[in-house]
A and B are shown apart, each in its own frame.
Chain A
């Protein structure tokens, strides 16, 4: 068997799982099970949120290691589910490595994705329906929808101007959300400034990082858990800074 190719396959699987938003224990266990399914008895896998290291020893006693760094990524649950299903399938009936590699590489293209326009619509719908929860009326919901749409435009189409730094991006979006709400409430659409702003900010809130942090800590990966807890606090701080800028400008006028 070609162990170099097997190593490449397993690292690729780990990388795809990680970039679709899987927890650390899932990445480590999936890669370990895949390698065991191909007959290696003690593969070593180590993962932290932006790095996967896999090390195997061939039956001839030759150790090989590969490391792969993973850049910033979002959450793609459909890809995660498909990766997970593929991993199970490979572990149950390991095919030839070349075939497995082809199945895995085809996965990101095969995964259905919503067109950006529908995602933008989602950025509008979510705040509109969050506002009644926080005590808003119909006109508040309309204003929240427009403010949410502006945040969605920033997130989906503004990547080139804002850059990839997530702290800065969240802060900018938060400023946009609070200024938009301020403008809309001053124009007469929407009654309560607080409700409209909060509803628009709800799409930026660090729910993903918070959930992931607690799942990592629960699984015993303290390093990754702390990384993600720090991420959620930073995102919260970015939202707060953005909202403060919006409020300060609102105070001047």
Chain B
């Protein structure tokens, strides 16, 4: 049980709070803040469950994409805000930093490794959210017989 707490629950709670904090930077008010926070926690949970790899980042961003589209339809608001904040914890800031630290130390092999891994993470994030958003948009008219909101 303590393992579960330290490995999954605590990081997700932290991700939630950090995302709610970041909503202030993007001037999000009201229920939107909670939605962003839950999105961040959901993304990080899936990233951890799937094994913290590039594939995990892909799955997490796909889940966030789906979640953000659904929430935006529910509230009839633009998707951008929810997607933006919920994806932030997954953006590979650590990758950039470690790549640079190897570069400064002159360890070219590890520098290139980390750099490519960072690019892979960023690409996985972009493709994941892009794919589910497009799928959602294509499938939505069939799920719901109403005209989809812009």
Contact = CB atoms under 8 A, between A and B. Distances in A.
Contacts of B24: 114, 118-119, 121-122
Nearest to B28: A77
A218 B91 contact: no
Contacts of B125: 210
B83 A119 contact: no
7 contacts: A80-B80, A81-B77, A194-B97, A208-B26, A215-B83, A232-B122, A248-B104
Nearest to A115: B24
A7 interface: no
B34 interface: no
A226 to B, nearest CB: 13
The size bracket of the interface on A is 35 or more
Interface in A2-44: 21-23, 26, 29-30
A240 interface: yes
A198 interface: yes
A126 B21 contact: yes
Contacts, number: 160
Nearest to A198: B94
B91 A210 contact: yes
Interface string B8-28: 001100110110011111111
Interface in A24-78: 26, 29-30, 75-78
Given A114-B24, A121-B24, A211-B87, A243 B97 contact: yes
A234 interface: no
Given A122-B25, A132-B10, A29 B87 contact: no
B96 interface: yes
Given A113-B27, A114-B24, A126-B21, A218 B134 contact: yes
